[in-house]
Amino acid sequence: MSHPELHRTHRIGWLRAAVLGANDGIVSTASLVIGVAAAEVERGGVLTAGVAGLVAGAMSMAAGEYVSVSSQADTERADLERERLELEADPEHEHAELAGIYVQRGLDPDLARRVAEQLMSHDALAAHARDELGISDALGARPVQAALSSAGTFALGAALPLAVYALVPMSVGIPGVAGTSLVFLATLGGASAHVGGAPVSRAAARVTFWGALAMALTAGIGALFGTVV
């Protein structure tokens, strides 16, 4: 009896951008809030700095993701156009090339030639894009999706430590933001690993460690500059 198989590679594009955005939002904003608060700045100044960091960070993430993924998309389009021209100019060579790929993957030469012939008769460019270039619809570059996902999750992640700092008493502002942000990071790391089918504990520990390090460093810098100034 056949059963459906659950694969998650189609989630790689948006999941990577979303996790990167949320993680950066939490870490950068929590670190900024802690660093400014450690310099003994009033609550209003800390929140203003945090909101400015949220807006600037979200726009930076969107622009960075869009430019980066657009470059990938441009490269994919250029490779596909080159492959299309090669198929028009010398289809026999392209057939042999595709068959050679299947031989390297374990098929015997006769079967590889037949498979290549059938796939090319169905959609030659798609066959070469997938098996020669490694380009597929599921893993293709999507600049707008990556930009929106990254910016939106950055803003959501950044809002969490800001909300905590705005709500807790000033006396526990720094430990409150640090503690809850580490919980947020661990939860994010575990959830993203679960969605992607990866080990949960390892992902949670990884993001928590780097988040704690970032917050500790900015707290130290804030306290140092606050003392000096």
Domain definitions of the chain by residue range: 10-228
CA angle, residues 97, 99, 105, in degrees to nearest 5: 110
Render pLDDT for 43-96 as a digit per residue (tens, 0 to 9): 999 999 999 999 999 999 889 888 988 888 888 888 889 988 988 888 899 899
Predicted pLDDT at 157: 92
* Residues 182 and 27 sit within 8 Å (Cβ to Cβ): no
Q: In terms of DSSP H, where are the helices of 90-199?
A: 91-104, 109-128, 143-167, 173-196
Question: How many CA atoms lie less than 13 Å away from 111 in the CB half-sphere?
Answer: 7
* Residues 195 and 19 sit within 8 Å (Cβ to Cβ): no
What is the C-alpha to C-alpha distance for residues 131 and 137, in angstroms, rounded to an integer?
13
Mean pLDDT across the chain:
84
Provide φ and ψ at 108, rounded to 5°. -75, 155
For the whole prediction, is pTM greater than 0.85? no
What is the C-alpha to C-alpha distance for residues 207 and 203, in angstroms, rounded to an integer?
6
Render pLDDT for 136-181 as a digit per residue (tens, 0 to 9): 665 556 788 888 888 899 999 999 999 999 999 988 999 999 999 9
Render pLDDT for 116-136 as a digit per residue (tens, 0 to 9): 999 888 888 888 888 888 776
At residue 228 the predicted structure's pLDDT band, cuts being 50, 70 and 90, is: very low
Q: Which two tokens stand for residue 122?
A: 């169905």
Render pLDDT for 173-217 as a digit per residue (tens, 0 to 9): 999 999 999 999 998 888 777 776 778 888 888 888 998 998 999
